[in-house]
């Protein structure tokens, strides 16, 4: 199964190819996507993305994880979260969301088992 292309990104809106939902924040993985609801794990801009936010995508067998920190990079990514991915043998890229989406789409187009979590506002 391949990772779906992120078809569009603008402030507060993301669309994933093959999915009718418009996301504010989303998680993507080979074969699927869904809303990234921060309330599920108590995520806030600081301390930011927690391993619990990534576990679902990690379980899909991704080899690379792309984390979009927001348009103005307000979303933090603690070293402990990066360490969690590395300990699971997963390469990680932490980027501003527009750059993250471009990188994710490039990896997906190359057939890499890539997953991501993307914040589409601040």
**Mean pLDDT of successive 10-residue stretches along the chain, which has 122 residues:** 96 97 98 97 96 98 98 98 98 98 98 98 96
Report yes or no on 36 lying in a domain: yes
Residues whose CB falls within 8 Å of the CB of residue 52, separated by 6 or more in sequence, listed in order: 40, 41
Q: Give the domain range for residue 96.
A: 6-118
Residue pair 14/100 in contact by the 8 Å Cβ criterion: no
Report yes or no on 111 lying in a domain: yes
- Say whether pTM exceeds 0.95: yes
Q: What is the CA radius of gyration of the chain?
A: 13
Residue 20, Cβ density class (10 Å: 0-12 exposed, 13-18 middle, ≥19 buried) = exposed
CATH number at residue 103: 3.40.1230.10
Q: Do strands 64-68 and 6-10 pair parallel, antiparallel, or not at all (unpaired)?
A: unpaired
Q: How many domains does the chain have?
A: 1
Residue pair 77/49 in contact by the 8 Å Cβ criterion: yes
């Amino acid at each position: 199964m391949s990772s779906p292309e992120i078809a569009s990104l603008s402030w507060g809106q993301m669309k994933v190819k093959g999915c009718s939902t418009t996301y504010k924040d989303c998680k993507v993985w080979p074969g699927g996507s869904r809303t990234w609801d921060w309330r599920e794990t108590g995520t806030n801009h600081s301390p930011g993305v927690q391993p619990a936010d990534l576990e679902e995508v990690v379980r899909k067998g991704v080899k690379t994880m792309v984390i979009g920190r927001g348009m103005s990079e307000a979303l933090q990514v603690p070293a402990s979260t990066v360490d969690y991915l590395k300990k699971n043998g997963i390469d990680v890229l932490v980027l501003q969301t527009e750059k993250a989406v471009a990188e994710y789409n490039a990896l997906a187009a190359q057939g890499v088992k890539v997953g991501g979590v993307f914040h589409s506002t601040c």
